[in-house]
Amino acid sequence: MSSRNRRRLCALLAPVAALCLLPAQAASWEERHYNPMPADGDMVLPMPCNGAMVFRKVYIPLSGPLDDYPIHIGQETDEWGYMEQTRPAFIAGSFSSADAASSRYYLLAKYEMSQLQLKALTDEQCPEPSTRLRLPAVSLSWHDALQAAHTYNLWLRTHAADALPKEDGVSGFVRLPTEVEWEFAARGGLAVGTAEFRDTRYPMPDGMQAHEWFAGSQSANGQLQLAGLLQPNPLGLHDMLGNVDEMIFEPFRLNKLDRQHGQAGGYVVRGGNYLTAQGEIRTSLRAERSYYDGANSFTSRTTGLRLAVVSPTLTSRERVARIESEWKKLGTLPGSDGKATDTVQELENLASGVQDQRLRERLKSLENELRASNQQQEEARDQAIRASLNLGAFLCTKMLDDGKYLDFLQRNYELNCAGEDDQDPSCPMRQEKLNEQRDRLHKLSRYYASSLVEAASLYGHPLLSRQVPVMHELINRNRQLQELGPYLQTHWSNQETFLRTQKIDTQAWLSNCKAVLK
């Protein structure tokens, strides 16, 4: 199509004029131009000019539409407390997980948006793919970033609608990530343990130089670097820290101890860049940028972007009905028998029967305060239940190890000391070790039994059973903890048996744990 005819067509298609800015198609990009370090789990979305952008799934171990996962972001600091002080936050996934009914996920771009990808969205002619264009796109404003995401969304819906993940039959969309989405992923999400998640940086076994670009001759040396040259973080995301600051969707707010301050300012950038000192690179690093610089939009040669893929929240009447149903249950604080307490309902009934408007409003306010307080207790209780399940799984591994070692000592003793004549001189020492190990295993078994019975009695089957699949998700998403999976299942089987029979059978529980690896 000639440029003149193309302009005429664009005039006719004014409602979707953004699509007219996109260049005609070109030869497909080689994988090295958009995914220089392929890995299992990569999700590829097409782009204009036969290009592509790679995303990674970031899992959250809960599945209900009102479920969210409690985390802490920021860090404990005196120097930057007003910017980065640790505060509680909550995160939830946009999409249902096909491979795990007890989790949801959102998508985050594996790499920062490259110059090649930006040109494919904004230039009139398709760019010629090259290694040089794998540099992150910089010197664009926050408004430019939003426009690029908007143009990409329109193109996907027109040319590759089936490639977008769907939730409840509704297509997702790309946008800049929120602070919580960005920091949860930057810290390693579920792929790291709780202590590692709260650290200033995700685990870097080979040192920071192998993972992130920062200032100095031993790293970036004052130069913007190509995407994907270094090792990724535990979620498979590259250059989350350093190289370029990454724009965030929401406005900047100061920190006021355990919450954000009320004033919303400019926009947020996260992660540091190639001019940031090594000692300053951290997952809590955040800064404010103005939307404008005089009469122009603000841009910076150290700032780029990374896109997320999320879905709408209210996707259908059925989803809204489910959310409304779960909302009514919030703060009812079910007990160990699974039945909800009726205090909230009594307050609601009382308020509905009161004629005085001010008194009715006050009773309704008390009802909501009680629900909120109950909800906090419920979330804390669920965390405690998961901790008890984790402890049970760990103790099961210890009983297996100690039990097998006792069997080893017993066999050696019987082999060398079973006869009354010509006993090995080491038999007294062997007997002592055998007795010590038997006593150690006995104490461990009793501790395991006490922990199992206490948790079963305190929480009951309905509450415990709801957290078992959540714990399986937490374990399975963390490579360092995956081996705990069979032990968690065995521990839960032991606990279910006790809940059903109310009989303490320490020897059977020990035998079950010892049989895990058979």
Q: Is 241 exposed, middle or buried (0-12, 13-18, 19+ CB in 10 A)?
A: buried
* Backbone region of residue 299 per phi and psi (left: phi > 0; alpha: psi in -120 to 50; beta: other values): beta
Q: Classify residue 355 by its DSSP letter.
A: -
Run of H or E residues at 348: helix 343-352
Residue 462 banded pLDDT, cuts 50, 70, 90: very high
How do residues 70-98 score in pLDDT, each as one tens digit? 999 999 877 888 999 999 999 999 999 87
How far from 105 is each of 39, 91, 383, CA to CA, in Å?
18, 10, 20
Return d(Cα 134, Cα 32) in angstroms, integer.
9
Residue 417 has a pLDDT of 86
C-alpha 416, offset from chain centre: 54
Residue with structure tokens 């705990």?
Answer: 484
Residue 57 banded pLDDT, cuts 50, 70, 90: very high
Return d(Cα 516, Cα 518) in angstroms, integer.
6
Residue 22 banded pLDDT, cuts 50, 70, 90: low
Q: 311 with 181: CB under 8 angstroms? A: no
How do residues 148-176 score in pLDDT, each as one tens digit? 999 999 999 999 999 999 999 999 999 99
**Phi and psi of 109, rounded to 5°?**
-60, 140
* Backbone region of residue 243 per phi and psi (left: phi > 0; alpha: psi in -120 to 50; beta: other values): left
Q: 341 with 332: CB under 8 angstroms? A: yes
Torsion sign across C-alpha atoms 419, 425, 429, 430: negative
Could you give all domains of the chain from N- to C-terminal order, each with its CATH number? 10-310 (3.90.1580.10), 317-374 (no CATH), 377-514 (no CATH)
Residue 141 has a pLDDT of 97
Amino acid at 360: R
Return d(Cα 23, Cα 47) in angstroms, integer.
11
Residue 277 has a pLDDT of 96
Q: Say yes or no to pLDDT of 67 above 60.
A: yes
Residue 387 has a pLDDT of 95
Residue 12 has a pLDDT of 45
Residue 354 has a pLDDT of 77
Give the closest residue to 89 by CA, choosing from 60, 127, 64.
Answer: 60
- Across the range 472-496, mean pLDDT stands at 93
Residue 273 has a pLDDT of 97
How do residues 224-277 score in pLDDT, each as one tens digit? 999 999 999 999 999 999 999 999 999 999 999 888 999 999 999 999 999 999
What tokens appear for 457 in the block?
């009695």
Task: Indicate the pTM of the whole model.
Answer: 0.87
How many C-alpha atoms does 357 have within 13 Å on its Cβ side?
A: 0
How do residues 407-437 score in pLDDT, each as one tens digit? 999 998 888 887 766 667 888 898 999 999 9
Residue 370 banded pLDDT, cuts 50, 70, 90: confident
Q: Say yes or no to pLDDT of 2 above 80.
A: no
Torsion sign across C-alpha atoms 46, 50, 53, 55: positive
- Which residue has better confidence, 354 or 272? 272
How many C-alpha atoms does 500 have within 13 Å on its Cβ side?
A: 6
What tokens appear for 340 in the block?
């909800």
- Across the range 482-493, mean pLDDT stands at 95
Q: Say yes or no to pLDDT of 109 above 90.
A: yes
- Across the range 118-146, mean pLDDT stands at 97
How far from 345 is each of 146, 348, 351, 363, CA to CA, in Å?
45, 5, 10, 12
Give the closest residue to 173 by CA, choosing from 61, 249, 246.
Answer: 249
Q: Say yes or no to pLDDT of 113 above 70.
A: yes
Residue 1 has a pLDDT of 47
Return d(Cα 191, Cα 31) in angstroms, integer.
26
Q: Is 58 exposed, middle or buried (0-12, 13-18, 19+ CB in 10 A)?
A: buried
Across all residues in the chain, what is the average pLDDT? 90
- Across the range 357-365, mean pLDDT stands at 81
